[in-house]
Amino acid sequence: MGMAAWVCFDCRAAVRRSITFAGEVPCPTCGRLCSYLGYKIPVPPKGKARGWSALRDQLAREHMQNDFAADIAAVRDRHALEHEIARLEAMPSNQGACSSHPVASPSAFRVKCLTIHQAEPSRCFA
Ligand SMILES: [Zn+2]
């Protein structure tokens, strides 16, 4: 089983755990929580201050990039939902209503109702 590293930048210490470990890892020296490094990035030697500084900067950059990518994905998902809502709301008011459950329900529900009712009438829940 592979091992991953967690590091304390203040103590320049590394702690290794199984890559499947999901908990928080305290620093054995100062007790503060270590930062997850993974298993691919080498841990600099304790005496190489510049290497530790570069590693801290690298992790900060990666976190910012991950946060930015998550923000973009969230906006993309929200736009897809807005387009779907607009498409459903643009449908004529009665179109999509199944004969058993006509009108007076939101358009998204009517489409779902029609889809289920046509495919499996016994499962139509309305
Ligand atoms: Zn520490």
- Interval 109-125: pLDDT, tens: 555 556 655 666 565 55
Are both 42 and 97 inside the same structural domain? Answer: no
Do 29 and 69 fall within a single domain? yes
Q: Are residues 7 and 56 in the same domain?
A: yes
Measure CA of the first residue to CA of the last residue in the chain; give whole Å: 51
- 79 with 125, same domain: the answer is no
The pair of three-digit structure tokens given for residue 98, joined into one six-digit string: 């199944």
**Cα 52 to averaged position of ligand 1 atoms, centre (Å):** 13
The answer to whether residue 86 scores a pLDDT higher than 50 is: yes
Q: Are residues 126 and 71 in the same domain?
A: no
- 78 in helix, strand or coil? helix
- Which pLDDT belongs to residue 92? 79
Mean pLDDT for 64-89 is: 93
pLDDT at 16 (0 to 100): 96
Domain count, the chain: 2
Q: What pLDDT is attached to residue 105?
A: 52
CA of 9 to the centre of ligand 1 (A): 7
Distance 16 CA to ligand 1 centre (A): 14
- pLDDT value at residue 108: 56
User: Taking all residues of the chain, what is their mean pLDDT, rounded to a whole number?
Assistant: 84
User: For residue 12, what pLDDT is reported?
Assistant: 96
The residue range of the domain holding 40 is 3-89
Instruction: Write out the residues surrounding ion ligand 1, Cβ under 5 A.
Output: 8, 10-11, 27, 29-30
Q: Are residues 98 and 40 in the same domain?
A: no
Same domain, 18 and 65: yes
Q: Would the pLDDT of 126 be above 70?
A: no
What are 13-39's pLDDT values in tens digits?
999 999 999 999 999 999 999 999 999
Q: 11 C-alpha vs ligand 1 centroid, how far in Å?
A: 4
CA atoms of 26 and 18, how far apart (whole Å): 15
